A and B are shown apart, each in its own frame.
Chain A
Amino acid sequence: MIRLTDLHVTFNRGSAMEKKALRGITLDIKEGDFVCVIGGNGAGKSTLLNALCGDIFPERGSVSIDEIDVTSLPSWQRAPYVARVFQDPMAGTCANLTIEENMALAIGRGDKRSLKLALNKSHRETFRFQLSRLKLGLENRLSDPIGLLSGGQRQGVSLIMAVLKPMKILVLDEHTAALDPRTAAFILELSREIVRENNLTTLMVTHSMHQAIELGNRTLMLHEGRVVFDVKGKEREGLTVPDLLELFHKASGMELDDDSLLLS
């Protein structure tokens, strides 16, 4: 279980630019939960995610994974528990390493790295098999530098890489936002399949209200660093975008004015 307790994060503290990004977020994610986090620009989605992954340290509050307190661990020490797909397709892979080398890095996520050869026959078989589900023919291009692939292809490989090794939580950071609509739909469907097959605990940040109610079993909305609503189970069934807007209005007493949220 992932437990975030009373997280507070402030940027540029004490200056005129001071911004309270998180103002006390408490969140329990149960094993097998697929949580969609939605919110406008500056709502604190990315900050929440970075605090969970260890890129940002909260000034107050704690993060624990399976009862292990990881609040003070940097991202590389959280890697055994957290697998992550970035928004930027270029961020999740190393352009000048080959596809198989990138995957070899991911299959050892969080492990101690030895002087053994990073690639072997059984690895390659695993990689080929996993890549074949992308249906892009990448299983035959294992030794091509990954920089030769398109953004969509790279994002597909990133997603496959994230689940090569067991994790406590899969973090999807608006991972379809930078893709064209067709590729985005494909990657989203694949994410859904992979999460279902492996029954992964997942936290997905998204800009799209549709995605936030279609995927997963729990929807969380952030606004100005706070959770405005958190719906799951029966309450969430049959929920529509207008319902979400209504929920937001009721909870915060405000109308949503972020066009990007409404349009996507």
Chain B
Amino acid sequence: MNLIQFMFAVELGLLFGLVALGVLLSFRILDFPDLTVDGSFPLGAGVSAILIVSGFNPWFATFCAILAGMTAGFTTAWISVRWNILHLLASILTMTALYSINLRIMGRSNIGLLGENTIFSPIEALPHSDLYIMPATMFVITGLALLLVYRFLSSEKGLAMRATGSNIRMAKAQGVSVNRQILLGLSISNGLVALAGSLYAQSQGFADITLGQGIILFGLASVIVGEAFFNPKRILAALIACVVGSIFYRLAVAMALNASFLGLETQDLQLITAVIVGIAMITPRLRAKILDFKASRSKP
């Protein structure tokens, strides 16, 4: 792996760190396995791409992307809490619907953004622009998002949200409207994912209808890799761990693709992801098993 590939993996890792934050919010904090993100990522990409090629301000386009993602998350949460539908099913409904909606919004399956004015245009136009500038920009954006999420989770509202995912009975007894927390939490989660989609489209120069494939697994991979490495106990540590997990995951993918003896190609990305997530999930159990085995042998 050369430096360019390395920096690109870091940039992508940071960008998908936003997805990881969103997935952490739904999966871990609200205990709501939400597959909507597979739809809200391309939704964010599509909404901002179509607005940008139609001549709108890229910041406005990004803002609309976030709003669209939040609406998608809200829809899933509403189906689930209002009609008492299993969370997984509710999110599959929205995800499926979003595929058609995305095609409607984009009008075609692919929109190119090369040469268009994006929020990254001023940075790319800098005289000393080099290969560090995009990773640095993503670092600032994702870092800012992380701090905002952390500040929110430390607030009275945020604490109520965490209680909802941790012990719903206790949350209710403390007067928390758990339904509202789920509505709000999924909106924020999918807003973050749509922001990632929008930034992806603008930095990579295209939006495509198939961008969403496997997004949930990327997010989950980051969260699980982060947990496997850092075993975070505090909320700030968990937030940082999932973003770092996202970078590690991207580096692992880049390395796997670069290892010529494996003969892997770009289309194997999903397989690599599944294998990495699988390993990250199995490792802690395996470790426990080995420790148990050692303990049983050391007994007299």
Interface residues of A (CB under 8 A from B): 53, 74-77, 79-80, 84, 86, 90-98, 101, 104-106, 108-111, 113-119, 145
Contacts and interface: CB of A to CB of B under 8 A. Distances in A.
B163 A97 contact: yes
Given A101-B159, A114-B155, A118-B155, A91 B175 contact: no
Interface stretch (B38-46, B165-173, B196-204): B165-173
Contacts of A75: 172-173
A79 B154 contact: no
Contact of B174 (A74, A106, A145): A106
B156 A76 contact: no
B175 A94 contact: no
Contacts of A118: 154-156, 158-159
A109 B162 contact: no
B198 to A, nearest CB: 25
Contacts, number: 91
A113 B160 contact: yes
Contact of A108 (B154, B156, B178): B156
Q: Select the residue from A86, A92, A95, A118 with max chain B CB neighbours within 10 A.
A: A118
A108 B174 contact: yes
B104 interface: no
Contacts of B234: 98
Contacts of B162: 94, 96-97, 101
B156 A114 contact: yes
Given A76-B175, A79-B174, A97 B166 contact: yes
Contacts of B170: 91-94, 105
Interface in B120-174: 152, 154-160, 162-163, 166-167, 169-174
Nearest to B28: A96
Contacts of B177: 76
9 contacts: A79-B174, A94-B171, A98-B234, A104-B156, A105-B163, A108-B174, A111-B175, A114-B156, A118-B159
B233 A76 contact: no
Given A76-B171, A76-B173, 14 more contacts: A75-B173, A79-B175, A92-B173, A97-B166, A101-B162, A105-B160, A108-B175, A111-B175, A113-B159, A116-B156, A117-B155, A118-B154, A118-B158, A119-B154
Nearest to B159: A118
B176 interface: yes
A114 B157 CA distance: 6
B175 A80 contact: yes
A157 to B, nearest CB: 12
Contact of B178 (A76, A98, A115): A76
Nearest to A114: B156
B172 A76 contact: yes
A23 to B, nearest CB: 27
A115 B167 contact: no
A156 to B, nearest CB: 16
For the complex of A and B, the 8 pairs showing the least CB-CB separation, nearest first, are A79-B175, A110-B175, A113-B156, A94-B166, A118-B159, A76-B172, A94-B167, A115-B155
Nearest to A84: B173
Most chain B CB neighbours (cut-off 10 Å) among A97, A109, A145:
A97
Contacts of B166: 94-97
Nearest to B166: A94
Contacts of B152: 115
A86 B172 CA distance: 13
Nearest to B29: A96
B278 to A, nearest CB: 25
Most buried by B among A53, A79, A86: A79
Contact of B157 (A77, A94, A113): A113
Contact of A109 (B174, B178, B233): B174
B176 A113 contact: yes
A138 B279 CA distance: 39
A159 B186 CA distance: 32
Contacts of A116: 155-156
A26 B173 CA distance: 24
A116 B169 CA distance: 24
Contacts of B173: 53, 75-76, 79, 84, 86, 92, 109
Nearest to B238: A96
Contacts of B174: 76, 79, 105-106, 108-110
Given A76-B176, A110-B175, A105 B159 contact: yes
A117 B159 CA distance: 9
Nearest to A88: B169
A170 B26 CA distance: 34
Nearest to A93: B170
A94 B163 contact: yes
A77 B174 CA distance: 9
B1 to A, nearest CB: 37
A124 to B, nearest CB: 14
Contacts of A77: 175
